[in-house]
Chain A
Amino acid sequence: GAVVSQHPSRVICKSGTSVKIECRSLDFQATTMFWYRQFPKQSLMLMATSNEGSKATYEQGVEKDKFLINHASLTLSTLTVTSAHPEDSSFYICSARAREGLYSEQYFGPGTRLTVT
C-alpha cells in the first residue's frame, strides 16, 4: 500500500514555543490531507482537511490561528502548533488520500507524540 511518513515522531517543547510537524506522501500524490488528534485511549478527532494549494477547512472548535496547516505541494503538508501549551500535548496523526471518490483509500502516517512542558 501507499506510504505516508511523519516527522518528527516525538517532540518535547516548552510552553509558549511553536512546533512544526511534517506529513509526506512518499509514493503517491495526495490531493487531500487530513490532520487528526488522538488523546490516550480515545478515538481520532479530525482537526482539519486540506487540499494542495488551498486553505485548510477546520473542524468546529479547532482554532485555525493556533493550528496552522500548510499543504504546499501534492506530497507535503505541515501542521504548526503555535504558542503550545500543556493541554496541546497529544498524539497527532496525518493521513493522505490520492483522490476523491468512492474508491479512494486513506493512508495514515505513524503519528507524532507532542509533549508540552
Chain B
Amino acid sequence: GENVEQHPSTLSVQEGDSAVIKCTYSDSASNYFPWYKQELGKRPQLIIDIRSNVGEKKDQRIAVTLNKTAKHFSLHITETQPEDSAVYFCAARTPPNSGGYQKVTFGTGTKLQVIP
C-alpha cells in the first residue's frame, strides 16, 4: 500500500521567515495530494491541494510543488505569522480500487512553531 513520509517532524521559524515541509510517497498511482492544518484538539482543515497533472499551485502565502518523477511534494509558507503555528499533515490519495474506494494516506505530521 501507499506509504507517506514527512519531514521535518518539528520546525521552528522566526515570524516573517519561510517554512518548508517535505513529503515523499511510494505509490506512483497516487494522483491527489492535499495538505491539512490541524490545531490542537481540532479537526484537520484543508489548506491547499495539488493534483497529479499540475506541478505547482499557489494560494497567497501558501504554495505546493509536486515532482511526480521523484514522488515528492512540498508545502511552502512564506512570510510566516504566529497564527500559522499548528501541525501540518500531507496526504496522498490513490485512484479508486476494485471496491471503488480511493484511499488517503497521511504523513506523520510536522509541528510548526512561528516565533514572534
Q: Which residues of A contact B (CB under 8 A)?
A: 1, 32, 34, 41-46, 49, 51, 57, 91, 93, 100, 102-111, 113
Smallest CB separation, A44 vs chain B (Å): 5
State whether the Cβ of B104 lies closer than 8 Å to any Cβ in chain A: yes
Given known contacts A42-B109, A57-B101, what 4 new A-B pairs fall within 8 Å (CB)? Answer: A1-B46, A51-B100, A108-B36, A111-B41
Contact (Cβ within 8 A) A109 B43: yes
Q: Contacts A57-B101, A102-B51, A106-B34 given: A44-B43 contact, CB under 8 Å?
A: no
Most-contacted residue by chain B among A1, A43, A93, A106 (CB, 10 A): A43
Q: How far is the CA of A105 from the CA of B47 in the complex (A)?
A: 12
Bound-state CA distance A41–B111 (Å) is 9
Q: Which residues of B contact A111 (CB under 8 A)?
A: 41-43
Check if B108 is an interface residue, CB within 8 A of chain A: yes
Inter-subunit contact A43/B109 (CB<8 Å): yes
Query: 8 Å CB contacts to A: which residues of B71-107?
Result: 89, 96, 99-107
Query: How far does the Cβ of A67 sit from chain B's closest Cβ, in whole Å?
Result: 17
The CA of A110 and the CA of B38, in the complex, are separated in Å by 11
Interface residues on B, range: 20 to 34
What's the minimum C-beta distance from A26 to chain B, rounded to whole angstroms?
A: 14
Contact A108 B43, CB 8 Å, known A44-B89, A49-B101 = yes
User: Is the CB–CB distance between A43 and B89 below 8 Å?
Assistant: yes
B18 interface residue per 8 A CB criterion: no
Residues of A within 8 A of B96 (CB): 100
B59 to chain A, nearest CB (A): 14
The reply to whether A44 and B106 contact each other, CB–CB distance below 8 Å, is yes
Across the interface, A110 reaches (CB within 8 A) one of B32, B42, B105, namely: B42
Q: B31 at the A/B interface (Cβ < 8 Å)?
A: yes
Residues on the A chain within 8 Å of B101, using CB: 32, 49, 51, 57, 100
Question: Is the Cβ of B104 less than 8 Å from the Cβ of A46?
Answer: yes
